Amino acid sequence: MSETRFLQLFNDLDKILRKVCKVPDGEYADVASMLAKAKELSPHNPVEANWDKLYVARQLRNLLVHENRTNLQEVAQPSQELIAVLEKVIAQYQEPMTIGNFLRQIEKVKPVTFEGSDKLIKALEVVDREHFSKFPIFAQNTYQGLVSDKGLTNWLAKASKETGSIREKLERASLADVLTCEDDSIRVVQVSAKTSLYEVMSQFESRKRTTILVSRQGHGNIQSPEDLIGIITAQDLAAIYRLLDE
């Protein structure tokens, strides 16, 4: 029974790989070459993540087919682990886990947003209470940018060099003032909630620190505070890996 299930799954994988690799109908393509091509299509994908086990599965599949054709005595049977890997890879291509799924599963708190005219002291109260370190800033419902811990540090460094009380400056400063102190050390990317987790993982390949703003809009743009449903940083990658491994 396990052999039948294994071979059926491998046939399903073959069909999926033909679509992934854009192999025309009727054109021959062996599984080994399609797996290799699928692995290289992006830095992170289901084949790349399960490459070693898929390699073993391919070798076993060839052996089983050869046994059937030559009436050789049975020398190997697929394990439940290999069958589970095939099921997982097929499912991840057929119904990709999205960043929206991830946010719902971990029940991540919805981001706090501010208007640029809001006082810095108001945001610091949220930092103290909620321990957030990044705040999307809007002006009349239009996204302006992201205030980060780095921007806050830059603003404090600038304010400390100027005359006057730091406390008074904190009370007068707006988040728009802090936004001008942001540098380009943080790369901000906007994506749709329908974006696959593997694609989200690829965004963190940049040398810069990356922050991802997740939008409920299909095009991925953040056009109003209501569009923003989540913020993803490198600290979330471990949880994303765990979810994909399940």
Q: What pLDDT was estimated at residue 77?
A: 83
Q: How far is CA 144 from CA 76, 113, 115, 226, 228, in A?
A: 60, 11, 9, 14, 13
By the 8 A CB rule, do 229 and 103 touch? yes
The reported pTM is 0.84
pLDDT tens readout for residues 188-241: 999 999 999 999 999 998 888 999 999 999 999 998 999 999 999 999 999 999
pLDDT tens readout for residues 186-196: 899 999 999 99
Two tokens, residue 26: 């009727």
Main-chain dihedrals φ then ψ at residue 215, nearest 5 degrees: -105, 145
- Which three-class secondary structure state does DSSP give residue 10? helix
- Spatial separation of the C-alpha atoms in residues 139 and 48, rounded to whole Å: 42
Q: What is the share, in percent, of the chain residues with pLDDT greater than 70?
A: 95
- Spatial separation of the C-alpha atoms in residues 188 and 209, rounded to whole Å: 9
